[in-house]
Amino acid sequence: MKLGKFAGALLGLLAGAAFGAESKPNIILILADDLGYGELGSYGQKLIKTPVLDRMAAEGMRFTQFYAGNTVCAPSRSVLLTGLHTGHTRVRGNAGPQNTAAQTLMSGDVTFARVLQQAGYRTGLIGKWGLGLVDEPGEPRKQGFDSYFGFLSQTQAHNHFPDHLWRDGVKVPLPNDLVHLGAVEGTGYATKRLAYAGDLFAAEAHKFIADNAARPFLLYLSVIAPHANNERAKALGDGNEVPDFGPYADRPWTDTHKAHAAMITRLDAQIGELLADLKRRGLDENTLVLFASDNGPHEEAGPGYDPKFFEVCGPLTGMKRALTEGGIRIPFIARWPGQIKPGAVSTHVGYFGDMMATLAEIGGGKVPASLDSISLAPTLLDRGPQPKHEFLYWEFYEEGVSQAVLLEGHWKGLRLKTTSAPLQLFDLDHDLAEQHDIAAKHPEVVARIADLMRTAHIDNAYWKIPAR
């Protein structure tokens, strides 16, 4: 990503040129959990109602080829926060409770929260973190957030009705009871469901905005919908948790399908309330709101849930835990009245790592010199040419080590589970569903991708790829 590193180095000189200190915009980044490319109306969904996010797309910009940092939670969020792809970022897989050190950001890591904090922003995290526990180097307050409220453990974050959350290092008890399952504190499911995490996060977001309305703020609102409660799915056969079925109560669907749709529509309504709050406070035109998902859609809610029912991947192949497009291509919407032209649709090829350079440029922050990050500001603000990535890179550590490269925006290379596996090649311009391996027809492209798979990865203490 040569252009990305060049752009990153220039940001120290250019940051703040477009927005003076007195006019720094607020920034809200809303991250859904396991929401598929095809689960919003603006991306083709027919059954699940998402009127607010559809309106947000109509009032702003919708990206059609934007990618998560990985196909599962922790590494995707590490890429998002650090601006480094999975061959370089600290956390490259879901390490689990047996190896928390491998899923923890360290003191030498720099997040976009730290960059904006140093640029004068009040920074807050609400919701799911997953990159460090209390008193670890990866705890949010040690990674640039002035405050946080939510789940530190991503495994506990499976539970939508938890018995506790965390606020700035202090455990906050909740009135839900808990049938404890698994090795991580707080995992399991509630039989008395009184406090829904998504509702608590929405209320906390309003409070954060009210408390910081007079100064520039960054709010990272990392919700857990529509992730399944995996432990409840294993125990009871239905991991889709929500207080009620909302507008789907009378649909002739299974209860788990009703619950899945209700989670998304409830989140959509909460985003609508957040946007209305910004408008009431006179902050609407000075706030950039971004919406994305951390990876592709899940199929983990139990045997009664069929992701094909909602066509959650749209035209793409694969789900969460796949490096095909369905596992990593995500919805991405940006709204900023007066700055982003309404109704815009961008085909620019970007990914989570670009958040670092983008937010730094818009917020007047200075980023590290070496990044895998290109600012999206030229596209968002329609100002000048947009630099492009030569390639994007992913690696995935389950059932072996898999790698993926997207070269020049359309050549997709996959090597699955082992470095000795044959490299598959797809041309997304003509085969979006990745059905036809054309590696034998393009040996020169295969050679370029193979070389990138070799050079884009740098071992760290916990994440290594065996030598070929």
Q: What are phi and psi of 335, to 5 degrees?
A: -135, 130
User: Hey, what CATH topology would domain 2-388 get?
Assistant: Alkaline Phosphatase, subunit A (3.40.720)
d(CA 331, CA 333): 7
Q: Which tokens in the block code for residue 49?
A: 């109602």
Strands 26-32 and 344-346: unpaired
CB 4 within 8 A of CB 371: yes
Give the C-alpha separation, 166 to 319, whole Å.
30
Q: How far apart are CA 427 and CA 216, in angstroms?
A: 43
Contact predicate 353/79, CB 8 Å: yes
405/230 Cα distance (integer angstroms): 30
Tally the C-alpha atoms within 13 A of residue 10's C-alpha that lie toward its C-beta: 13
Burial of 339 (0-12, 13-18, 19+ CB in 10 A): buried
67: β partners: 329, 351
Give yes or no for a cis peptide into 226 (omega within 30° of 0).
yes
Number of Cα atoms under 13 Å in the Cβ half of residue 259: 19
Taking the CA atoms of 315, 317, 320 and 322 in sequence, report the sign of the dihedral they define. Answer: negative
Predicted local distance difference test score (pLDDT) of residue 10? 39
Per-domain boundaries in the chain: 2-388, 399-455
Q: Does domain 399-455 have CATH number 3.40.50.300?
A: no
Can you tell me the distance from the alpha carbon of 310 to that of 237, in angstroms, rounded to the nearest whole number?
Answer: 19
Count of other CB atoms within 10 angstroms of residue 336: 23
Kindly give the confidence (pLDDT) of every residue in the chain, 468 residues in length, as a single tens digit, with 9 standing for 90 and above: 444 443 443 333 344 444 544 579 999 999 999 999 999 999 999 999 999 999 999 999 999 999 999 999 999 999 999 999 999 999 999 998 889 999 999 999 999 999 999 999 999 999 999 999 999 999 999 999 999 999 999 999 999 999 999 999 999 999 999 999 999 999 999 999 999 999 999 999 999 999 999 999 999 999 999 999 999 999 999 999 999 999 999 999 999 999 999 999 999 999 999 999 999 999 999 999 999 999 999 999 999 999 999 999 999 999 999 999 999 999 999 999 999 999 999 999 999 999 999 999 999 999 998 999 999 999 999 998 999 999 999 999 999 999 999 999 999 999 999 999 999 999 999 999 999 999 999 999 999 999 999 999 999 999 999 876
Angle, helices 73-82/354-363, rounded to nearest 10 degrees: 40
Contact 191, 161 (CB under 8 A): no
The pLDDT value given to residue 201: 99
**Amino acid occupying residue 211:** D
Q: pLDDT value at position 97?
A: 87
Report pLDDT for 74. 98
Q: What is the pLDDT of residue 23?
A: 79
